[in-house]
Structure 1
Amino acid sequence: MNKRVYLDHNATTPLRAEAKAAMRDAMDVVGNPSSVHAEGRAAKAIVEKARAQVAEAMGAGTADIVFVSGATEAAALALAGRGLKASGLEHEAVLGWVDATLPVVDGCVVVDDPDASVVQLANSETGIIQKLPEGLAVSDVTQAVGKLPLSYSWAGVEIMFLAGHKFGGPKGTGAIIIPQGYDLQARLTGGGQEMGRRSGTENVVGLAGLGAAITAAVKDLADGAMDRVAKLRNILEKAIEDAAPNAIFIGKERERLPNTSCFIAPDWKGETQVMAMDLAGFAVSAGSACSSGKVKASRVLQALGYDDDMASSALRVSLGVDTSEKDVLRFAEAWTKKRLGRRAA
């Protein structure tokens, strides 16, 4: 029996070996990072090492790194009460805090006032990459870390944020990058941790994993791992295109994340495809979301101009550094069989 194949890395990337090792070591550290005794200082050292690792990996040596529970909390911390504008391409965690009025033209977000706007660097569903305007207020770079060359120092963005589980770190960890000394108003108050910007005892074990993972992810990128992944993505899309000439590959003409393929199979609902492929041994995602048993059209694809039928018939396949050519060809073969079987029925 063939083993299951995980092709949903944009949702959560498997925990890296480096992160596991760092977390195991951190589990033996007893102290609270806010305590001044030796045990506390040992815990604090782990947190500060992770902070330095994130700063180095993100080219943010002159910025402040604030640790949070993930991109959702980071978005609230960065956006609440600021009256910023964004497009419909943003994640729901961002849309809850902004005025979603920025237009999208040919897949590009049109920004007229960068210092009052939010633009994600790369979309999780389609993989489409946006050019960030100089002076942009906030960018969600969650999907880009470890997949694209990225540096806070040259991006020209005031605030960036990320989540650990998108690049091989543990779930429930994240960071927000802000200018040094920036007056970021805490939403969680209490002990005054994280330089007074986010109270709550630091997740020492999780942050050890976050720091190790982002270091490893950036090294893999520098070593060309994503070039290999992009070739696999292209092999996958060629196989799907050969089997289904009417398939529509979202953003294929645009710059995309090297690991991401989002394609529409007309008249085959995305959620149905996900279930069929799950039964065949493959973990993938739909471009549509299922809420209370009702399949909804993808808001992102609608923002790109696709109608409800098209926007509810998309499948996202997202590869990782451990994905093999055999994996993608097996997927394409299984997808084709399921499609043909459905049509025959």
Structure 2
Amino acid sequence: MFYLDRAATTPVRREVLEAMWPYLTGVFGNPSSTHGVGDEAARGLSGARAAAAQVLGCRPAEVVFTTGGTEGANTAVKGIALAEPRGRHVVTSAIEHEAVLESCAYLARFHDFDVTVLPVAPDGRVDPQVLCAALRPDTTLVSIAHADNEIGTVQDIPALAEVAHGVGARFHTDAVQSAPWLPIGLDVLGVDALSLSGHKLGAPKGTGVLAVRSGVRLEPLLHGGGQERGRRSGTEDVAGAVAVATALRLTAPSSISSSSHVATAVRDAVLDGVLVAVPGAFVTGSREHRLPGHASFCFPGVNGETVLLELEQRDVVSSSGSACAAGSAEASHVLTALGVPDEVARTALRLTFDGTLAVADVPVVVGAVAESVATVRALG
């Protein structure tokens, strides 16, 4: 079986399981307790924080452990917007993850924020000049993802963050999809906050990290005992923190460079192969600025969900787009933002993989896609 849905989730790595196992068994204490049992758990938490900080190029005090990308994005967008005193204007893009778009909508509904949603180019890129034109003296926050989960387009975050900082606004980026592939960090990207999810990196679901630069005000979503330096109350999940920190270390740029090169070559072969094998197919997203291990298409005139079923019959597991919108009858907001008509957007296919998919596997995958689309077209 070819599992080509890694943008949705990844299997837990053995090294991650081994690292977190002691904190699921013998080291069970509450890290806030002042006795020896609690101290042992606290040391594990502290070590995980330091390890995550090293990968993210920040200080341990700037690391907040979360339950994943959705909580991280909610905390960054709502927390910064509500805490910073500049004004009530936030800016995002039309292709953001629902966690960002719904957080912005919440600010508009309940806190009288103005929300500017930037258009994107046909390849999904945000133009820094378009962002510049949208900024105002009262802009508090800009939130734009580093890479899109549906179309694989990578944004020039350093350039966009520089534009936002020019008017004094804070900048948050969702690095959930880019973390397995690209260098990330507060200084690398020039951002004030960065959120990521553990289960895209080989850690369990329910784990994540939010890095927030020192000096950035943050209103917590969860109030209580003041854990995580007052930014996220609640007894910490030490095993989860160890897991996501270990996964981050294993996917640091020095560790993924070779797999990235392999995945890029495979990606290009899949993109080119499908375009040749499937008449009428077109690639969604950017060819030039694209994640390794990410190929996405539309096949006008076919039922996308039926294509997925046909692919699974041929041992290729894939998706039509974001797993977070699974079951929705609506066309992808990402594809419609690119100008793709609703009926065509519903024919989308996303193939996402890691460095274990070899160039030699490409003909099999491309053949399965071509056969599946042909079968669906024949069925009418």
Q: For 1:221 and 1:295, how far apart are their aligned partners in 2?
A: 39
Give the equivalent residue in structure 2 for 1:306.
340
CA apart distance, 1:130: 0.8
For residue 308 of structure 1, report the CA deviation from its aligned partner.
Answer: 0.9
8 A contact 1:289–1:296 mirrored in 2: no
Query: Which of 67, 72, 76 is matched with 1:78 structurally?
Result: 76
Q: How many Å apart are 1:291 and its aligned residue? A: 7.4
Q: What does residue 39 of structure 2 align with?
A: 41
* Residue pairs, 1:1-345, within 5 angstroms: 4-27=1-24, 28-61=26-59, 64-80=62-78, 82=81, 83-98=89-104, 99-106=115-122, 107-109=124-126, 110-112=130-132, 113=135, 116-132=141-157, 133=160, 134=162, 135=165, 137-218=171-252, 221-287=255-321, 295-345=329-379
Count of aligned pairs between the two proteins:
342
Structure 1 residues 291 and 250, CA gap change in structure 2 (3 angstroms): closer
Q: C-alpha distance in 1, partners of 2:228/2:2?
A: 39
SS of equivalent to 1:25: helix
| TM-score, normalised via structure 2 length | 0.84
Structure 1 residue 205: Cα displacement: 1.3
More displaced, 334-343 or 108-117? 108-117
Partner SS for 1:236: helix
Question: Contact 1:7 / 1:284 at 8 angstroms: preserved in 2?
Answer: yes
Q: Which moved further from structure 2: 190-199 or 219-228?
A: 219-228
CA distance in 1, matches of 2:377, 2:121: 35
User: Matched residues in 2 for 1:97 and 1:42: separation?
Assistant: 37
1:187 CA displacement = 1.4
- Deviation string, structure 1 residues 261-298 (Cα, Å, up to 9, x no partner): 11111112322222222232222110377979663211
CA 103–66 in structure 1, closer or farther in 2 if over 3 Å, else same: same
Q: TM-score, normalised by structure 1?
A: 0.92
Per-residue displacement from partner, 1:221-266 (whole Å, max 9, x unpaired)? 4542111111111222222122114210112433000111111111
SS at match of 1:189: coil
Residue identity in the other structure for 1:19: V
Identity of aligned residues (%): 36
Unaligned runs of 5+ in 1: none
More divergent stretch after superposition (284-293 vs 314-323):
284-293
